[in-house]
Amino acid sequence: MILLATLISYPRAIILGLLQGVAELFPVSSLGHSVILPKLFGWDIHQNDKYFLTFLVATHLATAIVLLGFFWRDWVRILKGIGRSLRDREIRADDTDAKLGWLLIVGTIPAGILGLALEHKLRAVFASATSAAVFLTLNGLLLYGTERLRRRAPDTEGDDDTRIARKMSWRGAVLVGAAQALALIPGLSRSGATMGGGLLVGLSNKDAARFAFLLATPIIGAAAILKLPELFGPEGDGVRGPALVGALCSAVTAYLAVRFLMRFFETKTLTPFAIYCFFAGLAATVYLVA
């Protein structure tokens, strides 16, 4: 138990928690940074160590709670819309909330299935900091590519949810949801893949970010809740205190991140994040290989 506590000390928990809150929502791969950073700092932490995975459960749950709180009013409307569609046994053409709610459900299903099927296999194969750095570089190329390949000028008429419901098809929701599975590979970003998919189906950067955050909330929350018993079981011995501190830090930076990004994408694109990922991943790759 003493050994576990020293591996994730409180200062390290603070750093990892602050990083998690930002990197989970910024399209830069939180898992990739959580794998690369300990290696660069010389910390004896491996992404497949049970105590570290247990620590990440707490920080992910904090991020999901922040997202739920930030979009609370939207979720209330969306759930009411789903309820109306179930009651009427149809999704009315003018019921934006119902359409958006079912789009989120359709997008969540493939992400959940792929996550359950591939999580352990992908983490076992791509477990090194070097591979995470390589994929972080590729993440930059993917972000840049989606900006260059977007199909058409984004629709800016009407309110946010109306635009999303009008532009996003059921097939598009499946593809965007499945893209989240890329985040199982350290270095590839969940929010980046989802935003990129949104751009390719015709959403603006702002709407793509909004859909990505709404879609991420149940996925991140459900994954964390399923593993929450580990935090209170034997795997949590020695890391509960640091996990709580890390979760609080993650909550603070996640709130600041989502608030910043929703304003940022009103006028900006994914390009700055693409540049950061490419050069940061390339520099880390060269350093780790050398």
- Is 182 within 8 Å of 196 (Cβ atoms)? no
Q: Is the pLDDT of residue 5 over 50?
A: no
> Encoding tokens for residue 65?
């709670």
Any alpha helices (H) in 71-128, and if so which ranges? 72-88, 96-125
The amino acid sitting at 226 is: L
> Encoding tokens for residue 3?
């050994």
Q: What is the pLDDT of residues 155-175, one digit of tens each?
A: 566 677 788 888 888 998 998
> Encoding tokens for residue 139?
């993440």
Spans of all domains in the chain: 2-289
Length of the chain: 290
How far apart CA 180 and CA 169 sit, in angstroms, is 17
Q: What is the pLDDT of residues 185-234, one digit of tens each?
A: 888 898 999 999 889 888 889 999 999 999 988 888 887 787 777 777 77
- Is 61 within 8 Å of 228 (Cβ atoms)? yes
What pLDDT was estimated at residue 276?
96
Q: What is the pLDDT of residues 105-136, one digit of tens each?
A: 998 888 778 766 666 666 665 568 898 999 99
How far apart CA 26 and CA 104 sit, in angstroms, is 20
- Is 31 within 8 Å of 136 (Cβ atoms)? no
Going by pLDDT thresholds of 50, 70 and 90, the confidence category of residue 1 is: very low
> Encoding tokens for residue 140?
């930059």
